[in-house]
Structure 1
Amino acid sequence: MSEVYAARRTRLRERSAAAGAEAALVSRPANVRYLCGAAPRGAVLLLGAADDPGDLLVCPEDPAESGGGASLFLSHGLKGMAGAPIDDALRLMPLPAAETDAAVAAAAVAERAGAASLAVEEHHLSVARHRTLRAAAPRLRLADLGCAVEQLRLVKDEEEISCLRIAAEIADQALGELLESILVGRTERHLALELERRLIDHGADGPALPTAVGCGPNAGRARHTPTDRRVEEGDFLCVCLGANYRGYRCEVGRTFVIGTTPADWQIELYELVFAAQRAGREALLPGAAYRDVDRAARHVLDAAGYGEGFGARTGHGVGLEIDEDPRLAPSAMGKLDACVPVTVEPGVHLPGRGGVRIDDTLVVRPEADGGPELLTITTKELLAL
């Protein structure tokens, strides 16, 4: 993987140079991890000029940091995704706890090295931190790096997709085991905690997102926070969970009926949401506009009179973060590329009655390769549990 990280940093260095910056400072943790393989808390990456690729990872020292700070990296060697060593060209600068933050220290290093300009992630820096950078390195011209790293992260390589695939398998396993247990009488909160424990049991580093479990009138609410409401016969039960595996995150969401034959309104609503989700999945092809994927799913529910309960978007990208670009929404600009993982997650909530959400993680693939690759494979049949 060391060559992969080095190549990523080279691409970013080229983009930064093309924008007129002699050096670049990456501070957003997911972006640091993408470029280095790991992101100790508070660490930043300083990219040198094109003719000086001695990139510097500035890590705050924190003896109490159980997740591993600069001391741990120094004593055990820099390790990245899948345990692979990070590129030898990446230098480490431990920053004593008494020093200022790593971004300020990195800017001072760039100024001492003679750089005249430094591109920074303005969307990640607070106004106060930006001012501190200016004060620490007054001779540096600060430019905006923008979302250059996020744009590089859009298309995943096969190693990244492999991690997402395993994360999906873990989430499917945890959900499948829950469906085999007795659910009536248990609270939403209890079920959510059990799902998160099962994720860990099956090899996840942790949940990819807060686990959402909603039953009865809570079913179908997006990102519902579990309560002490108990599952009752006849309820819709909506579950959305995800696994974090080696930093890569995916999600899966399903809806079931508890303990009885589904009512007619439940069957009708489920079939509509399922049809909308299928339309969105089928629209996931390279070259498809983000808004067209949203439109394909949204049209199904609009035509049936449920458009107001649909939500702001059909799905979003996943990777080192559970919610990243692209956005599959009505106003989203851009087109899909191959090897971009996204969710398709339409849902409808009827106040006082409940609702349905169906959520899958897929990878965009060309039709010649079989079309979109479905990573989350838990059945989408309306089961009565």
Structure 2
Amino acid sequence: MNHFAKIAAQLRSHDLDGVLLTNEANRFYASGFHSAGTDGMALVTPEKFYYFTDSRYTEAARRHIQGADIREVGAGRGYSALLQEAVQRHHIRRLGFEDAYMTVREHGFYARALPCELVPAADLLAELRAVKDPEELEILISAQRIAEKALADILNEIRPGVTEKETAARLQYLMLHYGAEDKSFDPIVVSGPNGSLPHGVPSEKVIQAGEFVTMDFGCVYHGYCSDMTRTVAVGSVTDEMRQVYDTVLRAQLAGIAAAKAGATGRAVDGAAREVIEQAGYGPYFGHSFGHGVGVEIHEGPNATPSNDKPLPTGAVISAEPGIYLPGRLGVRIEDVLYLTEDGCQNLTLAPKDLLIL
């Protein structure tokens, strides 16, 4: 799977003769081939697609990339030389670049080396990546299933005496065991008072009876990310713990009910936030309802209080409200949603009623 043609089809409407992709995620989105960091570059023109890389990746690129001219950089013939030839060959006058990612130094270098105007074009890729096609959706669902299998297993292992670090390590192993290529981010596993840290780092803390354990994790499958959070209790819960959990779940369900293409990110976030505020926990929900998920774990569009733009049909966003009581406990529940004109499809199947292990 690649999106060269999809990108090329948008060049004219953005008044571009081509677009240069140096960012790792955008290169993958265009080509379907992953190379690390700055070890690759894609050029999309209306007539032809190029992928430039070095000898470490050339053979693999030729095996995986369809419909593009694969060219190898080498001593005395670097990326700028290959780019310059292509720019001249296709008479490119306005070349899009990723203004959200390219450094000032890189921009200066290419502005001097290339006989064309560099035009900001990060929004072009962001808009395309925000809308998932059927093949992308299928892969995202498969990534979610892998994470859910890992969750089902880890629930049998959480008990008093196990540490947060041990649980996080097991989640990573289980996702790889079930077919993941990598983790989509470092797993968050926090328990008891550590649960009030939304992005807490797993520690040597031992899980104890009467505590919540929050696990936020995901994997990469065929280049796309999954993301989910579940909070479970060990042994027993207090009335306060149950009240906080029930409030978060009701807030999530309210946000999911409001989530659909055409709704603004602010409106979706607001539907969930209102539930938490009415329960008296407004000051303890500091982040937003959700973010886009795809090639990157955080990408557009976002369901945030600041996003007053309509969410597009085909977007995939997380649904993850939370309540965090400093030094005491925290609860977050997260699913991933596919937005349609009529509502949304929840890609996450794992149960989320309060589970006491």
Q: TM range, normalised to the smaller chain?
A: over 0.9
Aligned AA (2:282): G
Residue deviations 1:99-118 (CA, integer Å, cap 9, x gap): 54x3x345422443343332
Deviation at 1:241, TM superposition (A): 0.8
Aligned AA (1:375): L
Deviation at 1:182, TM superposition (A): 4.4
SS at match of 2:209: coil
| Fraction of identical pairs, as percent | 31
Q: Which residue of 2 aligns with 1:282?
A: 257
Residue deviations 1:271-311 (CA, integer Å, cap 9, x gap): 11111111111111121111100000111111222112112
Which whole-Å CA distance do the structure 1 matches of 2:331 and 2:4 have between them?
Answer: 44
Structure 1 residues without counterparts, runs of 5 or longer: 63-68, 81-85
Q: 1:95 aligns with which of 73, 88, 111?
A: 73
Which whole-Å CA distance do the structure 2 matches of 1:197 and 1:350 have between them?
Answer: 31
Which whole-Å CA distance do the structure 2 matches of 1:309 and 1:258 have between them?
Answer: 23
Which whole-Å CA distance do the structure 2 matches of 1:175 and 1:44 have between them?
Answer: 37
Note closer, same or farther for the CA distance 1:287–1:115 as it changes in structure 2 (3 Å cut): closer
Q: 1:221 aligns with which of 185, 191, 197?
A: 197
Aligned AA (2:42): L
Contact 2:290 2:317 in 1 (8 A): yes
SS at match of 1:133: helix
- Please provide the CA RMSD for this pair: 1.7
The answer to whether residue 58 in structure 2 is matched with residue 70 in structure 1 is yes
Residue deviations 1:324-358 (CA, integer Å, cap 9, x gap): 00111111131122221110101111111111000
Q: Which residue of 2 aligns with 1:65?
A: none
Which whole-Å CA distance do the structure 1 matches of 2:71 and 2:338 have between them?
Answer: 37
Aligned AA (1:254): R
SS at match of 2:179: coil
Which whole-Å CA distance do the structure 2 matches of 1:178 and 1:97 have between them?
Answer: 50
Contact 2:196 2:328 in 1 (8 A): no
Q: 1:134 aligns with which of 104, 111, 116?
A: 111
Aligned AA (1:191): T
Contact 1:220 1:357 in 2 (8 A): no
Structure 2 residues without counterparts, runs of 5 or longer: none
Which whole-Å CA distance do the structure 1 matches of 2:58 and 2:180 have between them?
Answer: 25
Q: Which residue of 1 aligns with 2:147?
A: 171
Using structure 2 for the length normalisation, give the TM-score.
0.94
The answer to whether residue 67 in structure 2 is matched with residue 79 in structure 1 is no
Aligned AA (1:374): N
Contact 1:294 1:314 in 2 (8 A): yes
Note closer, same or farther for the CA distance 1:295–1:250 as it changes in structure 2 (3 Å cut): same
Which whole-Å CA distance do the structure 2 matches of 1:24 and 1:207 have between them?
Answer: 30
Which whole-Å CA distance do the structure 2 matches of 1:366 and 1:120 have between them?
Answer: 32
Q: Which residue of 1 aligns with 2:52?
A: 58
Note closer, same or farther for the CA distance 1:157–1:257 as it changes in structure 2 (3 Å cut): same
Aligned AA (1:45): A
- 1:1-385 aligned at under 5 Å gives the runs 1=1, 5-15=3-13, 18-19=14-15, 21-41=16-36, 42-48=39-45, 50=46, 53-62=47-56, 69-73=57-61, 77-79=62-64, 86-87=66-67, 90-96=68-74, 100=78, 102=79, 104-113=80-89, 114-137=91-114, 139-260=115-236, 262-367=237-342, 371-385=343-357
Which whole-Å CA distance do the structure 1 matches of 2:322 and 2:215 have between them?
Answer: 12
Note closer, same or farther for the CA distance 1:213–1:55 as it changes in structure 2 (3 Å cut): same
Aligned AA (1:135): R
Report how many aligned residue pairs link the two structures. 354
Which whole-Å CA distance do the structure 1 matches of 2:27 and 2:310 have between them?
Answer: 26
Aligned AA (1:240): D
Contact 1:45 1:55 in 2 (8 A): yes
Using structure 1 for the length normalisation, give the TM-score.
0.87
Which whole-Å CA distance do the structure 1 matches of 2:304 and 2:319 have between them?
Answer: 11
Which whole-Å CA distance do the structure 1 matches of 2:58 and 2:103 have between them?
Answer: 24
Which whole-Å CA distance do the structure 1 matches of 2:206 and 2:70 have between them?
Answer: 52
Aligned AA (1:376): T
Residue deviations 1:224-269 (CA, integer Å, cap 9, x gap): 2111111001111101111211011111101111122x10000111
Which whole-Å CA distance do the structure 2 matches of 1:219 and 1:56 have between them?
Answer: 47
Aligned AA (1:381): D
SS at match of 1:12: coil
Deviation at 1:220, TM superposition (A): 4.3
Deviation at 1:98, TM superposition (A): 6.5
Which whole-Å CA distance do the structure 2 matches of 1:198 and 1:39 have between them?
Answer: 23
Aligned AA (2:108): R
SS at match of 1:78: helix
Deviation at 1:198, TM superposition (A): 0.1
Which whole-Å CA distance do the structure 2 matches of 1:127 and 1:192 have between them?
Answer: 38
Contact 2:50 2:71 in 1 (8 A): yes
Contact 2:148 2:350 in 1 (8 A): yes
Deviation at 1:142, TM superposition (A): 1.6
Answer with 144-153 or 107-116: which moved more.
107-116
